Structure 1
Amino acid sequence: MPTYLTLLRYTEQGISTVESSPDRLESHKDLVADLGGEFKDFYLTMGQYDGIAIAAFPDDETAAEYALILGKAGNVRTETLRAFSDDEFESIVTDLS
């Protein structure tokens, strides 16, 4: 399954209820599973983004649905990146020759 990194930024609503974030993270894990994905990891970050969620989904459409559901809840804004493993990267680069 393809891996996706979702960069998260708290909205005003999300930061005003930040103490609920651990519960929201558990709901987030359930959402990933409900969409047929696999939750891999989460990191609280410092800088431009407040967190990074790493998950695998069956396809881009499912990853997009996930991002829309998170955004609709109103606690975070998302930016999702398709991530390639080192093996996938090697295969891509090898195909260039």
Structure 2
Amino acid sequence: MTTYVLLINWTDQGVRNVRESPKRLDAAKKALSDMGGSFREFFLTMGDYDMVAVCEAPDDAVMARFALQLSTGGNVRTRTLKAFPEAAYREIISSFG
């Protein structure tokens, strides 16, 4: 499984309906699970982003579909970062010229 970091901001609509946010999170977890992925961690954050999620998915296409599905609800906008675990980081760096 590949790890992804989702940086999430509420839209104006999402803020107006913030009390529904926990239900939307539950629905998002189920949607990603149905696609073969999972949420590893979820955080409400302060700063440039309202929430951060660490997720796993079988591949980039699954994560792209999931992020698009989230955005079509109109409550959040996302940025997705592909994350490399420490072992992969060390391998990449050691193979660098």
Runs of 5+ unmatched residues, structure 1? none
How many pairs does the alignment contain?
A: 97
Please tell me the residue identity of whatever aligns with 1:76: V
- TM-score using structure 2 length: 0.96
Distance (Å, rounded) in 1 between the aligned partners of 2:80 and 2:49: 12
Identical-residue share of aligned pairs (%): 43
Runs of 4+ in structure 1 deviating by more than 6 angstroms, as ranges, are none
SS of residue matched to 1:32 = helix
Runs of 5+ unmatched residues, structure 2? none
Please tell me the residue identity of whatever aligns with 2:62: T
* Aligned alpha-carbon RMSD (Å): 0.8
CA deviation after TM superposition for structure 1 residue 54, in Å = 1.1
- TM-score using structure 1 length: 0.96
| Residue equivalent to 2:7 | 7
Distance (Å, rounded) in 2 between the aligned partners of 1:75 and 1:64: 17
